[in-house]
């Protein structure tokens, strides 16, 4: 099946969104947010795997980074 270009899809989506009621728009908004969360999760997993494969996510390095951060940004209730 052929896909439409962004130039055609966006106006089509906008026209459909324009006639939706508030409840449907809220459901669409939540769906889009879920898509964004999934995409970011996949990106984080890919980045973490790249770091892990180069030895940059070793527990000692993570603990050292946390200590350094806490020294520079002490917790003040």
Express each pLDDT in 56-74 by its tens digit.
889 999 999 999 999 999 9
* Region of residue 74 (phi > 0: left; psi between -120 and 50: alpha; otherwise: beta): beta
Residue 9 lies in a domain: no
Q: What gap in Å lies between CA 67 and CA 62, rounded to an integer?
A: 9
Residue 63 lies in a domain: yes
Q: What is the pLDDT of residue 1?
A: 52
6 within domain boundaries: no
pLDDT in tens, 3-35: 778 888 999 999 999 999 999 999 999 999 999
Q: Is the residue at 27 inside a domain?
A: yes
Structural domain includes residue 11? no
The answer to whether position 8 is within a domain reads no
Residue 12 domain flag:
no
**Domain tally, the chain:** 1
* pTM value > 0.85: no
């Amino acid at each position: 099946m052929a896909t439409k270009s962004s130039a055609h899809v966006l106006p089509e989506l906008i026209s459909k969104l324009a006639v939706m009621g508030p409840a449907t728009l809220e459901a669409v908004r939540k769906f889009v947010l879920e898509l964004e969360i999934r995409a970011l999760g996949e990106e984080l997993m890919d980045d973490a795997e790249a770091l892990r494969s180069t030895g940059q996510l070793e527990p000692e390095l993570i603990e050292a980074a946390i200590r350094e951060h806490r020294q520079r940004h002490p917790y003040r209730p």
